[in-house]
Chain A
Amino acid sequence: MDHIAIVGVAQTGYEAKIRNKTNYDLVYEVTKGVLDDAGLSLADIDNIVTVSNDFMDGRTISSMAVGEAAGGHDKNISTVEGDGTFGAFYGAMRVLGGFNTTLVVAHSKGSEGSLKHITNAMFDPVYHRLIGIEAISASAIQANSYMDRFGLSEESFAMVSVKNHQNGFNNPYAHMPLNLTVEDVMKSARIADPLKLLDCSPVSDGAAAIIIANEEYSRRAKTRPVWIKGIAHCVEEYFLGDRDLAVAKSLRQASRKAYEMAGISRPVDSIDVVELYDAFSYMEPLWLEGLGFCEEGRGPGMLKDGITLMSGKLPVNPSGGVLSSHALLVAGLARIIEATLQLRGEAGSRQIPEAKTALAHGINGPCGQSHCVWVLSSEQ
């Protein structure tokens, strides 16, 4: 693969309700921010990928409404409706395909719509939508399946929530840093068994942007480039009943492809820090298994053994993860941004010392129907 790099990043703070800024305003803010960060001007950007969801925005072709905010009035703009990692994946492909630079920008304001209605609408309108299923209940079924298969405890999931909300205190962008105990999580309101309120991510408003550049433009940018060494995504069955929800099959496939591209044979030894899409506490261990950091069913053990703590061998979500801030679609791009900041050595009090290789991960569809995996490096 040609050498391509992330040369600029920007994100808003994540909040429950950003009243004084529209989606347009948020996109404008992070677009200005990412150009400033990279030290590039709009003239250096030759194509733009916007990431949005029509149901979230409450309008069709929602991407078209933020074109000028993204600096794209005379540019080639295309859109990904899905998580930001997938938008960035497409952006990377465009640079590999001959563009010098791609600006990828994602936005969402969960506060403006009804997330339960919106996530209900991702299900089949004939067989599933009419029984009222939405993202939380679907995820609860997955958590139940995962626990049942491997004999896991709710407490082991609660520990993830405690860790990530605590890490959130080190991230100035985080929506919900919290000082919690396992007991706090266990005693929080029952939402859909086994998920309790504090097993669930908050719904946040926010936006994020990155610039991906080819080798020549990575030298023009003022930042230290973060090189894209491996990227892959993979999808599994649409109907939940067709899937084995206790195993992240498509993540296993996507991560293997990304590792192969990056020349990594033992990820647990090669990767210094992970930012993954923990929309619910149980997802972190399940995704760690899918990413090949441990055997199936052993994900919770990685936290019990201290491996995924800030101080551990493989820190996971030092930013506080999605459990601390969850602007839909934006959250995956935020994982890439956090990984990038780690590799630039600019992650402030959440910095993992001497991080050279980082993994960022995003999901799309119910219960991680598809996964996108990024292996990034500070070294070309």
Chain B
Amino acid sequence: MIKPEKTPILSQKGQIAMPYTWWVGNAGSRFLAALRDDARIIGNSCEECGKVFVPPRKNCGYCYRELTKWVELGNEGTVIAHTVVHFSFSLHPCRTPFAYALIKLDGADVGFMHVVRDHPERLSNNVRVKAIFRDRALRIGHILDIETFEII
């Protein structure tokens, strides 16, 4: 039987869950291994313009020069921009409210994006924060080996 024009509209539910294994490259591996093994944040710098990047990367986007000079950065830094998040989302690393912050780590020239889990209401720009690492046994070479930044 032919269904009438005004047949209620049907929908189809679906989900795409696509597995990937992203190799993080040489610069990424050295960075993540330093988080895991040493609880240290490292970057690299351009020998032409002197800019220090974190996360470290292949080349300076400004000078288009390969970055070969490695720099150990402080695990502390200054918040340069932030937001306190109030909505919940399944990919959040923790419960709301928490904050995302761009942090100028000591010795770096760019902002490093991470989370401030505790006391987000006390956060403001120019505040000093420090990286809190997970226990050694729990660190796997992952951006969340830094559990959070904590207001100093």
Residues A193 and B102 in contact, CB atoms below 8 Å apart: no
- Binary CB contact string for chain A from 219 to 243 against chain B (1 if under 8 A, 0 otherwise): 0000000000000000001011110
Complex formed: what's the CA distance from A189 to B96 in Å? 14
Measured between beta carbons, the chain A residues less than 8 angstroms from B16 are 58
Complex formed: what's the CA distance from A148 to B86 in Å? 20
Measured between beta carbons, the chain A residues less than 8 angstroms from B74 are none
Q: Which of A20, A116, A129, A239 has the most CB of B within 10 A?
A: A239
Residues B82 and A141 in contact, CB atoms below 8 Å apart: yes
Complex formed: what's the CA distance from A58 to B13 in Å? 11
Complex formed: what's the CA distance from A338 to B28 in Å? 45
Measured between beta carbons, the chain B residues less than 8 angstroms from A194 are 83
Q: Which of A119-127, A158-166, A323-331, A341-349 contacts B (4 or more CB under 8 A)?
A: A119-127
Residues A144 and B81 in contact, CB atoms below 8 Å apart: yes
Q: Which of A97-105, A130-138, A286-294 contacts B (4 or more CB under 8 A)?
A: A130-138
Chain A nearest CB from B142 CB (Å) reads 7
Measured between beta carbons, the chain B residues less than 8 angstroms from A130 are 93, 142-144
Measured between beta carbons, the chain B residues less than 8 angstroms from A140 are 83, 85, 100
Q: Which of B128-146 contact A (CB under 8 A)?
A: 142-144
Question: Is A257 interfacial (CB 8 A cutoff)?
Answer: no
Measured between beta carbons, the chain B residues less than 8 angstroms from A132 are 89, 91-93
Question: Is A32 interfacial (CB 8 A cutoff)?
Answer: no
Question: Is B24 interfacial (CB 8 A cutoff)?
Answer: yes
Residues A141 and B100 in contact, CB atoms below 8 Å apart: yes
Complex formed: what's the CA distance from A193 to B54 in Å? 25
How many residues of A sit at the interface, in one of the four size bands? 35 or more
Complex formed: what's the CA distance from A126 to B22 in Å? 8
Question: Is B61 interfacial (CB 8 A cutoff)?
Answer: yes
Complex formed: what's the CA distance from A19 to B112 in Å? 42
Complex formed: what's the CA distance from A61 to B132 in Å? 42
Residues B111 and A240 in contact, CB atoms below 8 Å apart: yes
Complex formed: what's the CA distance from A191 to B83 in Å? 10
Complex formed: what's the CA distance from A115 to B91 in Å? 12
Residues A192 and B87 in contact, CB atoms below 8 Å apart: yes
- Known contacts: A140-B83, A237-B61. The answer to whether A131 contacts B112 by CB under 8 A is no
Interface size on B, residues (CB 8 A): 37
Question: Is A145 interfacial (CB 8 A cutoff)?
Answer: yes
Q: Who on chain A is nearest to B115 by CB?
A: A131
Question: Is B19 interfacial (CB 8 A cutoff)?
Answer: no
Chain A nearest CB from B51 CB (Å) reads 9
Chain A nearest CB from B146 CB (Å) reads 10
Partner of B84, one of A192, A242, A245: A192
Measured between beta carbons, the chain A residues less than 8 angstroms from B14 are 58
Complex formed: what's the CA distance from A193 to B111 in Å? 19
Chain B nearest CB from A114 CB (Å) reads 9
Residues A193 and B84 in contact, CB atoms below 8 Å apart: yes
Chain B nearest CB from A54 CB (Å) reads 10
Partner of A117, one of B20, B61, B91: B91
Measured between beta carbons, the chain B residues less than 8 angstroms from A142 are 81
Residues B81 and A148 in contact, CB atoms below 8 Å apart: yes
Measured between beta carbons, the chain B residues less than 8 angstroms from A129 are 91
Partner of B83, one of A116, A141, A241: A141
Question: Is B1 interfacial (CB 8 A cutoff)?
Answer: no
Residues A191 and B87 in contact, CB atoms below 8 Å apart: yes
Question: Is A128 interfacial (CB 8 A cutoff)?
Answer: yes
Complex formed: what's the CA distance from A136 to B91 in Å? 13
Residues A128 and B91 in contact, CB atoms below 8 Å apart: no
Chain A nearest CB from B96 CB (Å) reads 9
Complex formed: what's the CA distance from A240 to B104 in Å? 12
Q: Which of A3-60 contact B (CB under 8 A)?
A: 19-20, 58
Question: Is A190 interfacial (CB 8 A cutoff)?
Answer: yes
Chain A nearest CB from B72 CB (Å) reads 18
Measured between beta carbons, the chain B residues less than 8 angstroms from A195 are 83
Q: Who on chain B is nearest to A143 by CB?
A: B83
- Binary CB contact string for chain B from 111 to 129 against chain A (1 if under 8 A, 0 otherwise): 1111100000000010000
Q: Which of B81, B110, B125, B143 has the most CB of A within 10 A?
A: B81
Which B positions have Cβ atoms within 8 angstroms of A?
Answer: 9, 11, 14, 16, 20, 22, 24, 28, 32, 53-55, 61, 80-87, 89, 91-93, 100, 102, 110-115, 125, 142-144
Q: Please provide the 6 A-B residue pairs with the shortest distance between their CB atoms, ordered closest to farther.
A: A241-B111, A140-B83, A145-B81, A132-B91, A132-B92, A193-B84
